[in-house]
């Protein structure tokens, strides 16, 4: 059997609309940096942290369906401070994704050299993002 060559094509659209037409187990790599919660409402609407997990899980279900067993999924996501403390929506998302069948195996660190001190003395400031 001759394998089809890889498709080098950019497809723009909401992954829920686009991936529905993809066959199962056809993608080797998925890299996504989903919208930050509601911190960038003016840019793309944003999602409240309390609603984020329910909003994102249908997307991860499609990612899991199209990703090959030998494939890799990279999720670039960061918590945000909400009501004076770090919100737990990222941790909650990871736990719910595990229930979908995802394996949580690695964390990648992006060292942010341009990180500046925050103006809030009682908040931690990250000089990294963990993916």
Asked whether residue 110 carries a pLDDT value surpassing 60, the answer given is yes
Domain ranges of the chain: 23-130
Phi and psi for 118 in degrees, rounded to 5? -80, 165
Kindly indicate the confidence band of residue 86, based on its pLDDT and cuts at 50, 70 and 90. Answer: confident
Top CATH class, 23-130:
alpha beta
> Which of 35-49, 60-74, 88-102 is predicted least confidently?
35-49
Report the pLDDT averaged over residues 93-102: 96
- Three-state helix/strand/coil letters over 44-81: HCCCCHHHHHHHHHHHHHHHHHHEEEEEEEEECCCCCE
Q: What is the pLDDT of residue 116?
A: 58
| Length of the chain as a residue count | 131
* Other C-beta atoms lying within 10 Å of the C-beta of residue 63: 21
Phi and psi for 63 in degrees, rounded to 5? -60, -45
Model confidence over 61-70: pLDDT tens digits? Answer: 999 999 999 9
């Amino acid at each position: 059997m001759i394998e089809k060559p890889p498709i080098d094509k950019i497809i723009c659209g909401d992954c829920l609309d686009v991936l529905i037409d993809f066959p199962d187990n056809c993608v080797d790599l998925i890299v996504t940096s989903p919208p930050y919660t509601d911190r960038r409402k003016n840019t793309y609407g944003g999602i409240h942290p309390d609603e984020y997990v329910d909003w994102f899980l249908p997307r991860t279900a499609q990612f899991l369906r199209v990703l090959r067993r030998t494939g890799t999924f990279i999720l670039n996501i960061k918590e945000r401070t909400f009501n004076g403390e770090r919100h737990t929506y990222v941790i909650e998302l990871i736990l719910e994704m595990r229930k979908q069948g995802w394996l949580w195996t690695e964390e990648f660190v992006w060292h942010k050299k341009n990180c500046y001190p925050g103006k809030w003395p009682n908040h931690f400031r990250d000089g990294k993002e963990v993916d």
